[in-house]
Amino acid sequence: MHQIVLVAVLVLLASALIALVDSQSPRFFRPLHFITMGLAGILLSVGGAYGLIQSQDHHWQLALGLPWLHWHQHLDTLSSFFTLIVGLATVAVAFYAPAYAKEYDKTPQPFAALGFPTAIFIAAMELVLLADDALTFMIAWELMSLSSYFLVTFQHQNSANRRAGFLYLLMAHVGGLFILLSFGIMAGFAQDFTFSSMMASHLSPVWMTLTFVFALIGFGMKAGLVPIHIWLPEAHPVAPSHISALMSGVMLKIAVYGFIRVVFHLIGDIFWEWGAALLIVAAITALYGVLSAMIQEDIKKLLAYSSIENIGIIFIGLALSLIFFGNNLPKLGGLALVAALLHALNHAMFKSLLFLGAGAVIQSSHEHDMDRMGGILKKMPWTGALFLLGCISISGLPPSNGFVSEWLIFQTSLQAEALSSGVLRAMIPLSAAVLALTGALAATCFVKLYGIAFLGKARVRSVKHIKEVDRGMIVAQAILGLICLLIGFFPTFVIEAINHISLQIMHVGLSQATSHGWMWLTPISAKTAQYNAPQVWLGLLLAFSGWAFVYFLVRLKLKHRRAKVSPWSCGFGPLNSRMQYTGASFTMPVKQIFGGLWQHNEDKSLVARNGLTEHAHTLRYKESNKDSFWILFYLPIVNLLNQATRRIGIIQTGHLRHYLGYSFFTLLFLLWLIS
């Protein structure tokens, strides 16, 4: 099993080297680069699925690193599960990227600047999953951050890319520092860097809590928890779309993996207070993420904020798991952990699908603003249909895969009465209410996205002449869409496989979830709650068939009775794109209710004829919304640093004698220290 995964990593490294020589013969090396990447994705998927189902745990060493500290590697059910996520997304990207990358042939950047870091990025994510000691983990983690930085700044001629790349790299290294501190505490007590030694060590409650806090900040910064999410909506929109899919769909899950590995596996004991604190942060993250997504006009920025929302949902599940495990309710803790992991898988699939679909739309229309789209479904029916599937899944509507995982988290929340603490019994239902509100707002958000961008009439001329994208890009979306359908149709099989993770790392699993057969999902018991996905699918199929029958029957009867004159148009003439809803008008009620969460600016101007406002020809309206957390938390730090650097800059006099003096006095100071 682990040999397959190691071969996949080697194939990815070979794919990276092939990308470097692409300029020698693009017709040969470029397809070879994507073929090897797809092969690596298949190997990762097979190895991850096999390791998850077989529940095996493999450990080995590589003669790399320091002479006295080789790279320790392992592959258990937890890392196998996330390996499967990496593999599935890589396969889809391998189909999608060849046609999409042609768009960048017109840019000054060579293909090697895109292909090489992409393969290294995927390999680094897998190396994080395989790491069995802190040194290997941190090397792979920093390699993942650095390679993705080069992908974010791929089109570095754009100032937005440079700004987003700098912010991302800065936050990534700050987060890496906190992760290093959490490992440092455990390694200090274990006197070793290996994970097995850390598990065997005994930390005091204070040191365990400090380790948890450092891990939460470090991994939460990479995952996008509020308020340390600020890099995410800046980096994801400017990266190439298939890279956005990898970052949002996969890299954020690597951060989730790291948090689970440290908190649930390495620290040892679990305190319910950790879960209570995390539950508050996660609920705020989910609600703020979806509200911020609703007011976005850029399609990729909307998807980026939606990722923050879903990360919040995943961490709500993890917080519930910590609370129940900390209160000696292991079965409920295992249920919450399985629900969180299932939503991590679901989000990886439908968010990758949505980013790939958004990339297809952007490549065809050269538009990012939804208010400049419209009518895309008629021009791009395959992309439109698959994007609709992603919208249904991310909205958590039955019978999609997104519904199953959110339903499981709700079922876990409803078991709060089993807790003895009155505070927790009040807090968990409130978080469930926030989750319900988040789900409703998510559905509204993606109704807006799909209705504005894909339905109606084209709003600008460039969108009127778009066409469907290359077949490979459609196949990539279809793969992810099919996975979403399969998980939604057969959730019990997936949950039974994920249950192996809880059994291995927490020694407790779900005993009732699939006890009534593959058709019935009963997370607690059949009397408490049950869900039959095939029956829901059958009911929807019958309802749709009945609607289609009535529609075509009525259409056939009215075929010869159509009016020969145009209906009364109220004096306005034929419909045009200016009569359609815009994204701003659709979400205006939300802005009025939650307007205090953002700094909202409106710019209204009259473009006058002959310079006279009395004869205004056009009214122009533009609005912008700034992230409140940037203004409250980050902007003061930026201003403080700017003031400090301006004062420190005084020492840069430009005179050689001053610099020699600095060196002389520094040398004297160092000699004084060591004497």
pLDDT band at 543 (very low <50, low <70, confident <90, very high): confident
Structure tokens belonging to residue 259: 């948090």
pLDDT of residue 240: 92
Q: Render pLDDT for 258-283 as a digit per residue (tens, 0 to 9).
A: 999 999 999 978 999 999 999 999 99
Question: In this model, does residue 615 exceed pLDDT 70?
Answer: no
Segment among 77-86, 393-402, 457-466 with least mean pLDDT: 457-466
pLDDT of residue 622: 67
Structure tokens belonging to residue 579: 């009569």
Tokens 């950047």 sit on residue:
109
Segment among 46-55, 315-324, 579-588, 642-651 with least mean pLDDT: 579-588
Q: Render pLDDT for 99-108 as a digit per residue (tens, 0 to 9).
A: 998 888 877 8
pLDDT of residue 42: 96
Three-state SS sequence of 238-289: HCCHHHHHHHHHHHHHHHHHHHHHHHHHHCCCCCHHHHHHHHHHHHHHHHHH
Cβ atoms within 10 Å, residue 640: 10
Q: How far is it, in rounded angstroms, from Cα 511 to Cα 367?
A: 50
Q: Render pLDDT for 225-248 as a digit per residue (tens, 0 to 9).
A: 999 999 999 998 899 999 999 999
pLDDT of residue 515: 67
Task: Report CA torsion sign: 109, 111, 114, 117.
Answer: negative
Helix and strand numbers (H, E) in the chain are 27, 6
Q: Mean pLDDT, to the nearest integer, of 126-134?
A: 94
Q: Which residues of 389-414 are buried (b: 16+ CB within 10 A; e: fewer)?
A: bbbbbbbbbbbbbbbbbbbbbbbbbe
pLDDT of residue 74: 92
Nearest CA among 456, 455, 674, 656 for reference residue 575: 456
Given a contact cutoff of 8 angstroms between Cβ atoms, the answer to whether 133 and 69 are in contact is: yes
Q: Mean pLDDT, to the nearest integer, of 464-479?
A: 91
Of residues 567 and 18, more confidently modeled: 18
Given a contact cutoff of 8 angstroms between Cβ atoms, the answer to whether 38 and 95 are in contact is: yes
Written as one string, the DSSP assignment of 637-659 is: HHHHHHHHHHHHGGG----HHHH
Residues sharing a CB contact under 8 Å with residue 561, sequence separation 6 or more, in sequence order = none
Nearest CA among 154, 89, 111 for reference residue 20: 111
Q: How far is it, in rounded angstroms, from Cα 145 to Cα 222?
A: 9
* CB burial of residue 130 (10 Å; 0-12, 13-18, 19+): buried
Catalogue the long-range contacts made by 25-33 (C-beta closer than 8 Å, 24 or more residues apart). Answer: 26/111, 30/98, 30/101, 30/111, 30/115, 31/98, 33/115, 33/119
Angstrom CA distances, 348 to 282, 314, 401, stand at 18, 11, 11
Question: In this model, does residue 428 exceed pLDDT 80?
Answer: yes
pLDDT of residue 323: 95
pLDDT of residue 288: 93
Of residues 110 and 620, more confidently modeled: 110
Nearest CA among 205, 218, 216 for reference residue 137: 218
Q: Render pLDDT for 135-187 as a digit per residue (tens, 0 to 9).
A: 999 999 999 999 999 999 998 888 888 999 999 999 999 999 999 999 999 99
pLDDT band at 438 (very low <50, low <70, confident <90, very high): very high
Residues sharing a CB contact under 8 Å with residue 470, sequence separation 6 or more, in sequence order = 98, 99
pLDDT of residue 61: 84
Structure tokens belonging to residue 246: 């990898």
User: Considering the entire predicted model, what is its pTM?
Assistant: 0.91
Nearest CA among 263, 291, 289 for reference residue 277: 263
Of residues 427 and 192, more confidently modeled: 427
Question: In this model, does residue 353 exceed pLDDT 90?
Answer: yes
Given a contact cutoff of 8 angstroms between Cβ atoms, the answer to whether 520 and 531 are in contact is: yes
Structure tokens belonging to residue 639: 């201003």
